[in-house]
């Protein structure tokens, strides 16, 4: 399967505050980014679109779905990292280092990056077992980054530290999925 991994468009919280589970809409620029992605992918033979149920991801998926006459499939496992008690806090003043402090230890009231890694594994298994030739996933920074790692056979630690794929708002990357199922849990951490 050829897969397009899309990060939602810009929101008012993008780069400013921790908004993992906050349901914030796209800005005008974010809506324009969604249309641009849809236009760029309009000639692709995409037959399935998975999306996070958060409005910023749904708003990003809808223009593409309209152009391709598809209904996006809302997938709760594609939700962004749960920042718990840090949700809504200013990024510049808090300086939260997830890779260093919360790789396996959940943030207070939230989850760890390894929890997101597990969710990404569920999505990876689903995708690699599908028969579609071309698909799209619309998600968020951390779920996309860890899903990218899962689908490329990268270890949890490498997926967290690797700077090869750091999805910007409104970005889209294409790659081919492996033909063999991806294990749900990785061997070792």
**189 pLDDT exceeds 80?**
no
Give residue 130's pLDDT: 84
| DSSP annotation of 78 | G
Give residue 177's pLDDT: 80
Q: Which residue has the tokens 């969604």?
A: 34
Give residue 128's pLDDT: 87
Give residue 180's pLDDT: 57
**184 pLDDT exceeds 50?**
no
CATH number for the domain whose boundaries are 2-176: 3.40.50.1240
Lowest-pLDDT choice from 68-77, 85-94, 103-112: 85-94
What CA–CA distance (Å, rounded) separates 70 from 17? 33
pLDDT tens, position by position, 96-136 = 889 999 999 999 999 999 999 999 999 999 998 888 889 99
15: alpha, beta or left, given left = phi > 0 and alpha = psi -120 to 50?
left
Helix axes 28-41, 55-68, angle to 10 degrees: 30
What CA–CA distance (Å, rounded) separates 151 from 22? 27
């Amino acid at each position: 399967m050829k897969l397009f991994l899309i990060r939602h468009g810009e929101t008012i919280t993008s780069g400013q505050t921790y908004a993992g589970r906050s349901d914030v809409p796209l800005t005008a620029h974010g809506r324009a980014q969604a249309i641009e992605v849809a236009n760029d992918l309009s000639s692709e033979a995409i037959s399935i679109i998975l999306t996070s149920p958060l409005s910023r991801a749904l708003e990003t998926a809808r223009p593409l779905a309209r152009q391709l006459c598809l209904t996006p499939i809302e997938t709760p496992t594609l939700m962004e990292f749960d920042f718990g008690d840090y949700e809504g806090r200013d990024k510049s003043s808090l300086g939260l280092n997830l890779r260093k402090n919360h790789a396996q230890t959940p943030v207070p009231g939230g989850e760890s990056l390894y929890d997101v890694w597990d969710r990404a594994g569920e999505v990876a298994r689903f995708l690699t077992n599908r028969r579609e030739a071309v698909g799209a996933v619309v998600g968020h920074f951390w779920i996309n980054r860890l899903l990218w790692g899962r689908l490329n056979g990268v270890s949890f630690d490498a997926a967290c530290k690797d700077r090869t794929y750091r999805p910007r708002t409104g970005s889209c990357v294409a790659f081919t999925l492996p033909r063999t199922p991806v294990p749900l849990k990785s061997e070792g951490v």
